[in-house]
C-alpha cells in the first residue's frame, strides 16, 4: 500500500470513529431526555413564594379594589330627586363650558404662536421656504388648540366625576347598591 492509501484509510477510520462517538452521544442524550419528567400544569401558575411574583402598582391596586368591592354589584343605578337631576344637568353643562373655555384659550395661544413664528423666522421668509413656514404655522396652531382642549377636557372630566359622586351621595332616592 502506498502512503496516500494508508492516509485515506486512517481518515476513513477517524471519520467513522467520530460518527460512532456522535451516535453514542445522541443515544445518551435521548436516554437522559426520557428520564426527565415534565409536569403539565393546567391553569395559572401559582407561585410558591408570593414575593417572587412581579406585579406592577396597577395590578396590586386592582387586586385591592377587587377584594374591597367583591360583595357589591359592579354597576349601580341611581334614582335622583328633582333637585339632584337639576344639579346633574348643571355639572354636565359645566363640563362642556370648561372644555370650550380651555379650547378658546388654546385658540388665543395658537394665534400668539403663529404671530411669533411670523415675526421671528427671518430664515423662513424666502420664497423657497413659504410652504414649510405656512405648514409650520398650521401645525403649531392646531397643536396648541388641541393641547389646551385636551387639558380642559381632562380637568372638566375630573370635576364632573367628583361632583357626580357628591350628587349621588346627597340626592339619591334609591339605588341598586342600597
For the chain, what is the domain count?
2
Contact (Cβ atoms closer than 8 angstroms) between residue 133 and residue 124? yes
Residues 83 and 168 in one domain: yes
Is the residue at 115 inside a domain? yes
170: three-class secondary structure by DSSP: helix
Count of C-beta atoms within a 10 Å radius of residue 135: 11
Under the phi-then-psi rule, with left for phi > 0, alpha for psi from -120 to 50, and beta for the rest, what region is 43?
Answer: left
What are the backbone dihedrals phi and psi of residue 167, each rounded to the nearest 5 degrees, phi first?
-65, -40
Contact (Cβ atoms closer than 8 angstroms) between residue 160 and residue 95? yes
Residues 77 and 157 in one domain: yes
Is the residue at 129 inside a domain? yes
Q: What is the residue range of 116's domain?
A: 73-175
Output the tens digit of pLDDT for each of the chain's 178 residues.
566 677 767 666 767 777 878 888 888 888 888 887 666 667 766 666 666 667 788 888 888 888 888 887 666 677 888 898 899 899 999 999 999 999 999 999 999 999 988 888 776 677 777 888 888 899 999 999 999 999 999 999 999 999 988 888 888 877 655 4
Amino acid at each position: 500500500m502506498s502512503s496516500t492509501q494508508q492516509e485515506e484509510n486512517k481518515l476513513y477510520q477517524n471519520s467513522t470513529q467520530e460518527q460512532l462517538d456522535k451516535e453514542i452521544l445522541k443515544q445518551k442524550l435521548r436516554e437522559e431526555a426520557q428520564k426527565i419528567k415534565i409536569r403539565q400544569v393546567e391553569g395559572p401558575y401559582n407561585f410558591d413564594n408570593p414575593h417572587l411574583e412581579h406585579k406592577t402598582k396597577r395590578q396590586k391596586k386592582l387586586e385591592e379594589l377587587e377584594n374591597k368591592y367583591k360583595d357589591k354589584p359592579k354597576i349601580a343605578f341611581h334614582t335622583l330627586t328633582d333637585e339632584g337631576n337639576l344639579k346633574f344637568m348643571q355639572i354636565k353643562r359645566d363640563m362642556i363650558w370648561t372644555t370650550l373655555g380651555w379650547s378658546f384659550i388654546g385658540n388665543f395661544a395658537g394665534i400668539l404662536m403663529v404671530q411669533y413664528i411670523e415675526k421671528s423666522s427671518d430664515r423662513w421668509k424666502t420664497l423657497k421656504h413659504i410652504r414649510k413656514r405656512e405648514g409650520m404655522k398650521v401645525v403649531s396652531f392646531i397643536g396648541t388648540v388641541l393641547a389646551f382642549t385636551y387639558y380642559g377636557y381632562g380637568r372638566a372630566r375630573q370635576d364632573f366625576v367628583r361632583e357626580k359622586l357628591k350628587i349621588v351621595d346627597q340626592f339619591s332616592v334609591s339605588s341598586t347598591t342600597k
